[in-house]
């Protein structure tokens, strides 16, 4: 059987998934010049946290996009929580930067869609990290709740978190700051890349765990 053609689309998507978010991060960092002001940390750190680190963390288990396809499940679990924790830590730093910056200039907090959806994204991410801990140790309380239910809930909330993260990034790129600093057409490129990468992550996660979600598999 000729596998060359079958492997091609997967390789292109794999390349897109792992390189475009890094390009977004580099572009936003170039615009913001981290360190030039308190605010300058917020856009690049948030892009790094949600479009790079958490995206890699989520897709580590997927068949087509995972960074460690040859490694055993234990390795993937460790890489997943490590990258996810790093992402949450970065997001906390990015949030403190924008919050403190508003205090510095006596500006009101949470007065835009981006701010509210962003807050919901951070809240949901914290909840997901808690759910992740519950999932990792689901075996401890298996007599009260089936581990597969906890795993499926973690996955379902993960998809909601992906939707929120994509919305926050898109709203960030629609902000007055981005529109002022960036070439207008790059805002559309930023949005398109965010949608593509989040969509790929959601689709691959759902298809990788399809059997478990439909109750047709053991507890993988
Ligand atoms: C998922 C990623 C992101 C999250 C969770 C997030 C979260 C937030 C939050 C909660 C605030 C409000 C802080 C306050 O009112 O005290 C905020 C403000 C802001 N963010 Fe983000 N952010 C993200 C990404 C971005 C990106 C990529 C940009 C720029 C390209 C950006 C630009 C801004 C700007 C300009 C403000 C101040 C104006 C406003 O409150 O709307 N953010 N962000």
The CATH number given to whatever domain includes residue 18 is 1.20.120.1770
| Atom number of ligand 1 nearest to Cα 178 | 30
Instruction: Evaluate whether residue 143 is within a structural domain.
Output: yes
Does residue 220 sit within a domain? no
Q: How confident is the model at residue 196 (pLDDT cuts 50, 70, 90)?
A: very high
Q: How far apart are CA 185 and CA 197, in angstroms?
A: 19
Is the minimum distance from the CB of 21 to ligand 1 under 6 angstroms? no
Q: 120 alpha carbon to ligand 1 midpoint, in Å?
A: 12
* Ligand 1 contact, 162 CB (< 6 A): no
| pTM for the predicted model, two decimal places | 0.92
Structure confidence at residue 217 (pLDDT): 64
pLDDT at position 193, please? 97
Q: Is pLDDT at 216 greater than 50 in this prediction? A: yes
Whether residue 1 lies inside any domain: the answer is no
- Chain-centre distance of CA 210, in angstroms? 20
DSSP state of 108: P
In total, how many domains does the chain have? 1
């Amino acid at each position: 059987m000729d596998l060359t053609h079958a492997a091609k689309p997967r390789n292109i998507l794999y390349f897109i998934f792992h390189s475009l978010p890094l390009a977004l991060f580099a572009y936003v960092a170039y615009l913001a010049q981290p360190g030039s002001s308190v605010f300058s940390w917020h856009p690049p750190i948030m892009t790094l946290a949600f479009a790079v680190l958490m995206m890699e963390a989520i897709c580590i288990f997927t068949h087509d996009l995972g960074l460690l396809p040859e490694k055993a499940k234990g390795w993937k679990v460790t890489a997943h929580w490590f990258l996810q924790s790093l992402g949450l830590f970065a997001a906390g730093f990015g949030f403190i930067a924008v919050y403190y910056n508003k205090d510095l200039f006596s500006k009101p907090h949470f007065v835009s869609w981006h701010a509210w959806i962003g807050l919901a994204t951070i809240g949901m991410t914290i909840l997901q990290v808690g759910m992740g801990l519950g999932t990792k140790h689901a075996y401890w309380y298996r007599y009260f709740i089936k581990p597969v239910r906890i795993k499926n809930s973690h996955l379902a909330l993960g998809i909601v978190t992906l939707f929120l993260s994509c919305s926050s990034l898109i709203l960030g790129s629609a902000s007055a700051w981005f529109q002022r600093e960036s070439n207008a057409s790059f805002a559309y490129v930023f949005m398109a890349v965010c949608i593509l990468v989040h969509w790929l992550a959601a689709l691959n996660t759902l298809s990788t765990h399809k059997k478990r979600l439909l109750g047709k598999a053991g507890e993988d």
